[in-house]
């Protein structure tokens, strides 16, 4: 019979994705409350959490090769810089509204999070064309290639 104490690393392994899910849920609720204009006492803390954690998480995903402490420092500084740049554009009249600023930060955050899968796809495509052709020829000759 398997006991919980048999796997002490399972808690550490499962904790990070669970915390990321909770952070995403809090951020999503904050954005939804703000964009719909709902009057809720949770709107301000949730949107402030999104304004910091969204870009910081995206930057941390992009900077995966740095050491954890350096990644956290750069991600936090970058998140503040992104927020300040959006706030600067909000300060000029008739350029952006508050909802437009939230939407802009959401788009920037989504683009930062999408950077990692795109980078993996592009790195996979950088295989030498001759190698790619040879792999296709071998696949055709082996009979595994069916049209």
Q: 8 with 28: CB under 8 angstroms?
A: no
Q: Which of 50, 66, 61 is nearest to 16 (CA)?
A: 61
Residue 75 confidence class, pLDDT cut points 50, 70, 90: very high
Residue 31's CB: how many other CB atoms inside 10 A? Answer: 22
Tens digit of each residue's pLDDT (9 = 90 or more) over 42-68: 999 999 999 999 999 999 989 988 898
Q: What is the pTM of this model?
A: 0.70
Q: 54 with 62: CB under 8 angstroms?
A: no
């Amino acid at each position: 019979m398997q006991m919980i104490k048999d796997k002490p690393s399972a808690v550490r392994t499962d904790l990070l994705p669970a915390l990321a899910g909770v952070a995403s849920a809090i951020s999503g609720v904050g954005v939804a409350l703000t964009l719909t204009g709902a009057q809720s006492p949770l709107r301000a803390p949730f949107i402030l959490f999104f304004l910091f954690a969204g870009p910081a998480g995206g930057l941390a995903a992009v900077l995966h090769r740095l050491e954890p402490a350096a990644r956290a420092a750069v991600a936090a500084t970058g998140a503040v810089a992104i927020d300040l740049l959006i706030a600067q554009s909000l300060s000029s009249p008739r350029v952006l509204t508050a909802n437009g600023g939230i939407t802009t930060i959401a788009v920037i955050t989504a683009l930062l999070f999408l950077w990692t899968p795109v980078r993996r796809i592009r790195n996979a495509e950088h295989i030498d064309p001759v190698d790619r052709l040879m792999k296709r020829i071998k696949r055709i000759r082996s009979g595994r290639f069916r049209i």
